[in-house]
Every structure is written in C-alpha cells, then in structure tokens.
Amino acid sequence: MKILDCPIEGLKVIQLDVHGDSRGFFIERFQVKRFSEAGLPHIFLQDNHSRSVAHTLRGLHYQYGPPQGKLVGVARGTVWDVAVDIRPHSPTFGKHHAVELTAENGMLLWIPPGFAHGFCVLGEEPADLLYKVTSVYNAAGEGGIRFDDPELDIPWPVRNALYSPRDQNLQSFAEYKKSPPVWGA
C-alpha cells in the first residue's frame, strides 16, 4: 500500500496492492492495523454502496453535522471522483482535485471532513462506488453545492450527464460562502 499526498491538504490517494492473474485479481481494500500505522483514518461507522449508470453525475455533497470523512473506491466500472475544499479558512478553499478510480486500478481516495464530494461515471457500463464513512448519515446535517458552479469551474469529462433534480437545484458556491456551516455542529 502506498499513500500519496494530493495538492490539497488532507486529501490522500491510497494505492492498494493488486494481485492479479489470468483468472482475475484480489485486492485487500481495508485493514485497520495497516491504515492506523499509516496515519490514515481507521474507524468507520457506516459502509455505503452506490450504483450509477453510464454518464451519471452525482454531487457535490457534504455532511457537516456530524462531520463526515469518506474513503472512496470503485468495485465496478470507472468514475472520475472529485473533492472540493469547502473549509473557509483553508488556503485551497474552493479548489478541487480529481482522481480516476476503477475496479482494477486499486486506488482509493480519502476525503476528510470539510470537502464536498462528487463523481461522474466514465465509459458505457455502470459503476459501483463503495465508500466507508466516519459518521453515520444525518439528513439534517448534509448540504450540497451545484456540480456545474462556474466559480468552481470543474471540467467534468462527461457530456449530456444524467443528474438528479436535487443535485441540479443545490446552492451555488457563492451562496455557500455567504453562510458556510459550522463544521462539527
């Protein structure tokens, strides 16, 4: 396992060891001791599985109450996964970082609290996104920012994306900046 720092403080790419042959492959996705020894979060309270059809775009979502970090990976298909720094006092506030995650590349993305998360499905097959989270889901403590916000200027690599009415009607980044949540409230 290799841990790679991203240009935005706190984000990490975890490159897992992929053991493959003509029959397929095996990946150890998570082990408490190895993550702990590497200084990575290792206590997760919920596992989530999201399946999305080709060309789906989801996000940008975050949870502030209680704050939620995510360890994201793909078990099927390919996604372009994006994290946006929404910590108001961060030097990279409003900046994003993206990573291509596939079923075969053995990469995970650690997204700490204080980031909005989104992804789009690349290719023509569905994608299964698996993610562990550091706190349980709380609808009263979640929020979102429009995926196509011009100020964020995220170059989504999918055309004619499928997205939900909810995601289309999220607040702008300018609205978020007027009244950001109190993280941990």
Q: Which active-site residues does the annotation give?
A: 61, 131
Residue 182, amino acid:
V
Alpha-carbon distance of 62 to 72, in angstroms, equals 14
Q: What is the DSSP letter of 22?
A: T
Query: CA–CA separation, 84 vs 154, rounded Å?
Result: 9
Strands 57-63 and 115-122: antiparallel
What are the angstrom distances between the C-alpha of 133 and each of 115, 117, 122, 152? 13, 12, 24, 25
Token pair, residue 161, equals: 């994306």
Can you tell me the distance from the alpha carbon of 42 to that of 21, in angstroms, rounded to the nearest whole number?
A: 30
Q: Tell me the one-letter amino acid at 168.
A: Q
- CB–CB of 43/116 below 8 Å? no
